[in-house]
Amino acid sequence: MERVVLITGGTSGIGLAAAHRFLQAGCFVALAGRSRERGEAALASLGGLAADGHAAFFAADIRCAKEAKRLVADVYTHFSRLDVLVNSAGVYRERALEDLTEEEYEDIMDTNVKGMFFTTQAALASLKESGGNIVNLSSDAGLHGNFLCTAYCASKGAVTLFTKALALELAPFGVRVNCVCPGDVATPMTELQLQAAPDRDEALRQMAGVYPLGRIATAEEVAAVIFFLASDAASFVTGAAWSVDGGLTAG
C-alpha cells in the first residue's frame, strides 16, 4: 500500500498511532501540526519507519484557511501526490454552555470544523487525481449528546454530517469519505483530563465504567479502523460513521 497519507494532528494520540500503522504498511506519511518541536519529536518516535523519506513533518495552523491550503500544496510538492487525507486534528473541552466564552467556542469550532473543512477543500483536486479517500475523526459525541459538551458535540456532529454529505458529492469521482467515532481513548489529551481529577485512577475507573467492554480504547485500536477505511479492503465503504466505542452507543 505505497500511498501518500496526510494526517493533521499527526504529532500525538490517534494521529500519531495512525501514522505508525500506515508506515508499517509501506505508505509515505506527512504529519501536520502547529508545533515544529512536537513534529520533530513525533518523527523521532517513529524510528526506522520514518527513515528514507517515508515520513516528513509540515508545520501549519489549519485553523486558518490559507495555512490549510499551503499545507496541502507543500505536501503535494514534497511527495508529488496525495492519496489519503486523515483529518485528525481536534481539541476537547468540557464547559457548561452558560460558562463558554467566545474564545473557547472559536478554538473548538476552528480546529474541529474549520480546519477539517478547508484542509479537505484544498486536497480535493489531488484526491480526485489519485482516486483517493478521506477519513475524518469524529466522536461518539458526534452521534449523541454528552453532558457539559455542547460546543464539542456541535463540532463533532458537524464532522459526521460533513462526512456523509461529502461522500455523496465525491462518489462520482471515485473518492470515498468516511469518519470514525471513538469514545474515550488513552491519549495524552485524555491523560491531561484524568490528571486534573483529585484521584486519577478513580477518574479512569469511572470513565471506563460507562463502556460495555469495561475499558477505554487505545489509540492503536482507533488507528486500525482508520487504516481499514483508507484501504482497498473498504473499497465499497463511503459515507459511513464507524463507532469505535466499546459498545457505548449500541443502546
- Give the active site residues: 152
Q: Which H, E and C letters describe 70-118, residue by residue?
A: HHHHHHHHHHCCCCEEEECCCCCCCCCHHHCCHHHHHHHHHHHHHHHHH
For the stretch 81-107, what's the b/e string if a residue is b when 16 or more beta carbons lie within 10 angstroms of its beta carbon?
A: ebbbbbbbbbbbeebeeeeeeeeebee
CA distances to 11, 116, 121, 225, 243 from 36, rounded to whole Å, are 9, 20, 24, 27, 32
